[in-house]
Structure 1
Amino acid sequence: MRSADISGAGAEGFGSGSQANGIYSNATNTSSSRIAFCHNPVPNAVAFTAIGSAGLFIIYDIARTSAEVGSMEGIWQRAMVVGLLAVVLIGAAMLKYGPRPDASQRASFQTLVGAIPLGVACWTATGNLIVCNDQYRSRLNLATGSFRGAVSYHDAVTQLIRGGYMKLINEDDDNRLLELHRQDGSCLLIDERPLETGGFITLVSDVTERKKTDMLLNAIREEQRLLARRYHEEKLKAEAASRSKTNFLAHLSHDIRTPLNHIIGFAELMAHETYGALGDPRYREYIQTIKSSGEGLLASFATILDLAELESGQKVLRSEPLQVDELIESSVLRYRGQAARAGIEFCLGECTQAIISADKLALQRMLGNLIDNSLRFTPQGGTITVAAYAANDGVVIEVSDTGLGMTEDRLESLQQPFALGDARFTREGVGPGLGISISRAIAELSGGRMAIDSSPAMGTTVAISLPAVEGDTSVMQAAE
């Protein structure tokens, strides 16, 4: 708990206080003296008249006594009496016409401050209370009885800081701001300003909620700063983990593909019976199984490595002019025979004559993965439609089928590689389940996006949006 002197609240109110603690300067004290001077002309006139009359009387008495008596005997006694009379007259004038308002003025002040929503108290220059409103009493938790009679600013401040402390925020010749922190956790802002009549006024407002809000905002900012720092750290860790994963897969692919190539090569050599017959016919079936399994495993490792390189950005795609219609026709032609054998009908959309800038091999692989998925999960008699739609800002390529479709949970799992999920999606030949992931990576590296819409037993539609080339009007003309 701080005392009134430490808090900067002086006994005589605004502009006063202990000079020892360094809070107030001589300039402030001088300003306070000027504020305390009485601005009422009546007591000033009485004071000047009394002092002038006393001086004239003393001069006249000295001259008369010297001329008549020839000595100064009794002059000092009469001068002291005259001086005391002058002081009494000045004091009476100050009491009657001084800065302290009369009863009617106090009533007017009371009505005025009572209408103000803030806590208001008016003080004389010497720190005596003139008037205050109920908000001042209630906000500062002071009893009404404590304001009966002469109440000084020092007494009020002493009662205010009991169990708490005051903190000086700002002080100059025209304003002083104090914060009152109380035991119950509330905080009051005390604003003191001088009056032209020589006193000063105290304004009190409750800033507890504002302080709590400021503390909450500061806590939120600190939490955001910590989260941003944690995010940055986790991002660096994720990038390091991604690089480590790519390097690991590259080494693993090299270490495994070499023996796999040996296994496949020796299986082919044994299948041709180069150095003699195998004997039992079942050996030929075993060798064929070894070869097909090795080739499948080799293809899986190649796919995994391609995905790692695409996601890490190590695989740079070329940019070359590409006819969208030719890209779709070549991809459909590649799978038309497989679709015919499966009893699935292929449908092509209308020509767009749009030209984009992309990597031809990468887009062929992307479309091939999507068409291959549709062929695998579309039953006999179904339909697969491949179409393109040109717009002013790019091209959208869609691959739609009437196959099994997927649930929302399955669609969410497609965001993660290697997610096979439902047993219906584990047919022979599906592989590691990276077709969608690789297609998405290619679309994003080409500056586009992939969107999937699917419903069980209704089919699936995969849309790839690719941006137009800046400065190229071919897409715009195709859209028109």
Structure 2
Amino acid sequence: MRSAELSGVGSQGFSRVFGQVSPLTYAVALTAFIAASIFVTVDAFRTFEDIAERNALMQRLGAAQPLLSRQFVATVFDPVAAEVDDGAAYSGLAQRGGVAFGLALLFAVAAFRRRPVILPKSDVPYSDLLATIPFGIACWTADGRLIACNEQYRARLNAEPSDVRIGASYAASVRRFVQGGFMQLVTEDDRNRVLELHREDGTCLMIDERPLDGGGFVTLVTDVTETRRTDHLLTSIREEQKILARRYHEEKLRAEAASQSKTAFLAHLSHDIRTPLNHIIGFADLMRHETYGPLSDRYIEYVDSIRMSGERLLGFFASTLDLAELEGGRRVLNPVELDVDDLLMAVTKRFSAQAQRKGIALTLGAPALALIVADRFSLERMLGNVVDNAIRYTPPRGRVTLTAYAASDGVVLEVTDTGIGMSAERLATVSQPFAFGDAALTRDRDGAGLGLAIARTIVELSGGRLAIDSRPGLGTTVAVSLPLMDARAPAVDIAAE
């Protein structure tokens, strides 16, 4: 019983199987069997009637003329042959009946085979099945008539009741949907066709048409408004990025050209001004020594002031020219093998007198016992600028320390002071040219604000990095990291680079 239920052969199974046959098939089969039955009935009636008439004729003849009847039977009508003819008549009747019912059966089978197989109806209505699909869907016949659709289809298209009723025309519905907007073809092949419907309210719908087996097609409707807006936004952003990148490149070229022009101008200006300044300083020295006659004490003070001012201006323009040459790539570095400890010792001796005059302790850290390959003059200039700033901005009884640390990949040079320190905002601009500190804290400065800028440029040209760590009131530490270079490396021409 269980197997019968599983296989569907029970009474309900047979009813489902025969329930699939259409009424037209039943009518054709019934008509064929009725026609065969009528034919067999008529044929049997005629056969029985012929046999009965022949027997009646023989009886009447025997009753009227016995002698003639016996002679006719003996000469014409053989009783044995008559029995054979009756059997042949019955056999022919049976054969014709079989042929008639066989033809009827063939007609019924042919009518049943022409009927397409219809799937058993589901307990769930098609409308409920379509309602479970998360996007708009509609089924159409081969001639474009609506079979069924879901609520998503109605909502996405804002369809009128006439557009979603069973039998509605697909072409008419599309014409109403496109009003005020436009539709464009995206892709089309043998299996599907994709369209984009841009409506008057700004929404964009993707319509995917797919054929169904046996005729008809299904329409899938998806709202891609947000996707298209995002695509347009990304496209606009990319275009703006391209424009900004082009403008940035143009501005960069202008800035580089302006920087080169500035560097060239500063170089020519420094050179042109240093020449008359040297004359002024020379004549001031000549007058101070009273070479061509004595001067009063007041004039001697004026001459000293002229000489000191000239020397300050000369140092200012010398620093400007050095920075212009370094940034312009016209300074040639000649790397040689250097002992780091000797380099720090030379810088310490150079600034020891200046530190003593200000009451600052200038000390040297532990030996690093390291060798590097670099331009000695440039490194001494770099360290001199850093130490000079440290002494200048450190109050009396302060301390400035020079230390070197050797590592496997390079050497770090540090200059630490206990001076006034700098804030984070000041650190952001301290390495920029002509950047000065707080005037209230640096009244005694006499530089051009180029010391750290020149030092950073020299370090970068030497392949290193310069970092500054400072806290207001606690002091500043300037660290310079230099890589280990090949001692056999030739001189580096910055202009060639």
Give the alignment's TM-score, normalised by structure 1.
0.74
Of 159-168 and 141-150, the range deviating more from structure 2: 141-150
Question: Number of residues paired by the alignment?
Answer: 385
State which of 268, 273, 281 in structure 2 corresponds to 1:251: 268
- Partner SS, residue 122 of structure 1: strand
State which of 336, 348, 351 in structure 2 corresponds to 1:320: 336
State which of 275, 286, 298 in structure 1 corresponds to 2:314: 298
- State the percentage of identical aligned residues: 57
2:305 matched residue in structure 1: 289
8 Å contact kept, 1:194–1:201: yes
1:202 maps to a residue whose letter is T
The answer on 1:383 being equivalent to 2:399 is yes
State which of 259, 262, 272 in structure 1 corresponds to 2:279: 262
8 Å contact kept, 1:106–1:130: no
2:221 maps to a residue whose letter is V
1:355 maps to a residue whose letter is L
- Deviation at 1:432? 0.9
State which of 177, 201, 205 in structure 2 corresponds to 1:184: 201
2:433 matched residue in structure 1: 417
Of 207-216 and 348-357, the range deviating more from structure 2: 348-357
1:215-364 counterparts in 2 under 5 A? Answer: 215-278=232-295, 280-364=296-380
1:34 matched residue in structure 2: none
Distance 1:242 1:296, change over 3 A: same
1:113 matched residue in structure 2: 130
1:457 maps to a residue whose letter is G
- Partner SS, residue 442 of structure 1: helix
- Deviation at 1:271? 2.0
The answer on 1:369 being equivalent to 2:369 is no
Which structure would you say has the larger RCO, counting Cα contacts within 8 Å and 6 or more residues apart?
1
1:154-193 counterparts in 2 under 5 A? Answer: 154-193=171-210
Distance 1:105 1:148, change over 3 A: farther
| Per-residue CA distance 1:342-369 (angstroms, 9 max, x = gap) | 2222232222222222211111111111
CA distance in 2, matches of 1:469, 1:228: 37
1:426 matched residue in structure 2: 442
1:123 matched residue in structure 2: 140
- Deviation at 1:122? 1.1
2:73 matched residue in structure 1: none
2:84 matched residue in structure 1: none
| Per-residue CA distance 1:370-423 (angstroms, 9 max, x = gap) | 111111121221111111122333222111111111222222231432122412
8 Å contact kept, 1:349–1:385: yes
- Partner SS, residue 423 of structure 1: coil
1:147 matched residue in structure 2: 164
8 Å contact kept, 2:142–2:217: yes
1:75 matched residue in structure 2: none
1:14 matched residue in structure 2: none
CA distance in 1, matches of 2:173, 2:393: 86
2:454 maps to a residue whose letter is I
The answer on 1:451 being equivalent to 2:485 is no
CA distance in 2, matches of 1:97, 1:129: 23
| Per-residue CA distance 1:57-83 (angstroms, 9 max, x = gap) | xxxxxxxxxxxxxxxxxxxxxxxxxxx
- Partner SS, residue 413 of structure 1: coil
8 Å contact kept, 1:347–1:385: yes
2:482 matched residue in structure 1: 466
- Partner SS, residue 147 of structure 2: strand
1:441 matched residue in structure 2: 457
Distance 1:105 1:98, change over 3 A: farther
CA distance in 1, matches of 2:294, 2:327: 48
- Partner SS, residue 169 of structure 1: strand
CA distance in 1, matches of 2:433, 2:341: 30
Distance 1:392 1:134, change over 3 A: farther
CA distance in 2, matches of 1:313, 1:226: 32
CA distance in 2, matches of 1:272, 1:130: 118
CA distance in 2, matches of 1:122, 1:131: 5
RMSD over aligned CA atoms reads 2.9
- Deviation at 1:108? 4.5
8 Å contact kept, 1:177–1:191: yes
Distance 1:196 1:471, change over 3 A: farther
8 Å contact kept, 2:139–2:147: yes
8 Å contact kept, 1:242–1:312: no
The answer on 1:404 being equivalent to 2:442 is no
